[in-house]
Amino acid sequence: MPAVCPPPQKLRPLTLSILLACGPSLALDTTSITASVLSPHCLAYQIVGICFWRLCTPFGCTVKTSTKVRHFIPELVVSSYTTTGSNPWAEMAPLSSPLSGAEGGGNLITPNLHRDNLPRFKNVDAIGHPGGWAATQLASQSGYACASGATALVPYYLSTLDSLAWRHGLPESLYPEALMPGVREIGSQASANMWGNVYPRQGFLVQPDDFKAAAVMAQRAGDVITRSGQAHVYLALTPSQRDGYWPPGPIVENDASTHTWQLLAPEVQTTCSIFPSNPVQSADGGYTWSLWRPYSCCKREGQTFLFSIDFEEGAS
């Protein structure tokens, strides 16, 4: 469905006195998203250790072992896009239709063609990955793959429902992380590839490159979702550990051991990386990634979990 652009005079004043960037929506569908999970590079499957279980029967107890594996799972489809209501994932776009207080979208116009120092704005939606959930529910029955902690098609975050934090930066604009230079940065100043700060976790960023701005917004949303008790309207994705099942912790910028991103729009890539990565510009300001996170698990072989041994780290 093409984006509908309201007249500029109907946009909110304050920070949202912006011009809508209107263009054709990219048709990313559920089928192509599901197929994108077939990526050995993103999966990064490893056998990492051994689990020990106590199995008791009427004839006595014995110790059983099972293989401990570790791999990444695509948990969320995170879309970062300019025009409100135009999520590149076509079937999910109606979930983020404009609401009162969250109508406008786009970028401010710079008054000087030689400068681009005004904020870009992106909406962000994060929805449970359909392919990651379906694949792991089946594969986990074998004991050689882990089940995803996310539920397919569940909206974990819609920025239109979080307008106070996402559009006005409240209260996070006052947090120490937002006020101290060099804290929680994506990339680094020293390597001349700093894309932006994680805090405040809102939809505005001064960044001349559209892809980089969208990526920072996706990182900000993922940072919120993978933590509990944040000052946002969202559903936390914090699966609990249990015997033989070790879910990931929160994502941390610049740390590939906590997460990776797979670009889905404007093109589907078969590799994963963290930000900073190679920019791929979108004609309509819409970008989508799969957020992959690492899980470890082993098959239950008894009533009681005793311990596990990782080949590189020792017992846990």
Q: Give the tens place of pLDDT for each residue, 16-39.
A: 333 333 333 347 999 999 999 999
Specify the pLDDT at position 308.
96
Cis amide linkage into residue 94, ω under 30° from 0: no
Q: Please state, in angstroms and as integers, the Cα–Cα distance from residue 235 to each residue in 173, 253, 255, 266, following that order.
A: 22, 20, 23, 27
Query: At 219, is the secondary structure helix, strand, or coil?
Result: helix
Please, is 252 exposed, middle or buried when counting C-beta atoms within 10 Å of its C-beta (0-12, 13-18, 19+)?
Answer: middle
Q: Residue 211 and residue 1: Cα distance in Å, rounded?
A: 23
Specify the pLDDT at position 9.
36
HSE (side-chain half, CA atoms, 13 Å) at 82: 26
Residues of the chain with pLDDT under 70: 1-26, 100-117, 138, 313-316
Q: Please state, in angstroms and as integers, the Cα–Cα distance from residue 114 to each residue in 80, 108, 282, following that order.
A: 26, 15, 22
**CA 62 to the chain's CA centroid:** 43
Specify the pLDDT at position 312.
81
- Residue entry with tokens 């300001």: 285
Q: Please state, in angstroms and as integers, the Cα–Cα distance from residue 56 to each residue in 13, 62, 193, following that order.
A: 69, 6, 57
By the 8 A CB rule, do 177 and 183 touch? yes
Q: Residue 39 and residue 135: Cα distance in Å, rounded?
A: 12
- Beta strands of the chain (E only): which ranges? 46-57, 60-81, 120-121, 123-128, 155-158, 185-186, 196-197, 204-205, 245-246, 260-265, 286-298, 304-310, 314-315
